[in-house]
Amino acid sequence: MNFRTNGTAKKRILTRLNPPHPGHKTKQMSDLKMSAPQGNDDKEFDAHPEGSFMAVCRDVWVERKPNPKYPGTNPWGNPEAEQLVKVCIDFLTDEPIEINGKMMPRFIRFKANLTWGEKGSLRNFVSRWNPALGREEEADLERLVGSGAYLTVVHNTDNNGKVWANVTNVSAPPKGASIPMIPANFVRHKDKVASDIARDAETAHNDRPAPKQGIGQTAGDPF
């Protein structure tokens, strides 16, 4: 996936998905380059706790969803896009959760619009985490996979009383800090078969809550 700056005020976005690689290792990288211009409502959910946590980036991928406001115009008079396109950065934190009798790291997600503009939230987030990468006009976000991070998580409650866990700050982990490990059997989003993606679209990957027994915490999702 490639983002490129064109030197004008309005940034142009290019994306390129690469062929999957077999398996995933904590420090293994593949191409995700950027250049600038749900569960059932009757389930109980356990929000990722608030606070500061050590974390590891387990995946970076692009989510595309139909825009419910299309066709139409936004408040500035511009036509609504047919799709809502977000970059998803998935983390595992050092906050444990019990799953099928085993203690596992919890999951949380940061989402931002797919743009590498200097004032965009994606570039701002990456710059606080990895300043050198944030300064690059052509940034390979694949380099974030397997990287440690120090996250701040806060809760927000919607009008229906649901709690949403959100990543509000990120920085590089302190030197010598221990970060969670990515499970050896973890399959990255780009390597999943279509049936897996369809199943995930009904749970954590579509801004809907995932079942409590899973590790589906996402930024902006209730758990």
In angstroms, the CA 53 to CA 46 distance is 17
Per-residue pLDDT of 110-159, as tens digits, reads 999 999 998 899 999 999 999 999 999 999 999 999 999 999 999 988 88
Assess whether the previous peptide bond of 209 is cis (omega < 30° from 0).
no
Dump pLDDT digits (tens) for 77-107: 889 888 899 999 999 999 988 888 888 889 9
The CA distance from 178 to 167, in Å, is 20
Domain limits, the chain: 33-200
Task: Tell whether pTM > 0.85.
Answer: no
Question: For the segment 148-205, what is each residue's pLDDT rounded down to a tens digit?
Answer: 999 999 998 888 888 889 999 999 999 999 999 999 989 898 888 655 656 665 554 4
